[in-house]
Amino acid sequence: QVQLVESGGGLVQAGDYLRLSCAASGRTFSSYAMGWFRQAPGKEREFVAAIDRSGDNPYYADSVKGRFTISRDNAKNTVYLQMKSLEPDDTAVYYCAVKSAWSTYYNTAPSAFGSWGQGTQVTVSS
Q: Would you give the DSSP letter of residue 90?
A: G
CA-based end-to-end distance of the chain: 39
Whether 93 and 43 have beta carbons less than 8 Å apart is answered as no
Would you give per-residue pLDDT tens digits along the chain (126 residues)?
789 999 999 999 999 999 999 999 976 888 899 999 999 999 999 999 999 999 989 999 999 999 999 999 999 999 999 999 999 999 999 999 999 888 888 999 999 998 999 999 999 999
CA-to-CA distance for 20 and 77, rounded, in angstroms? 14
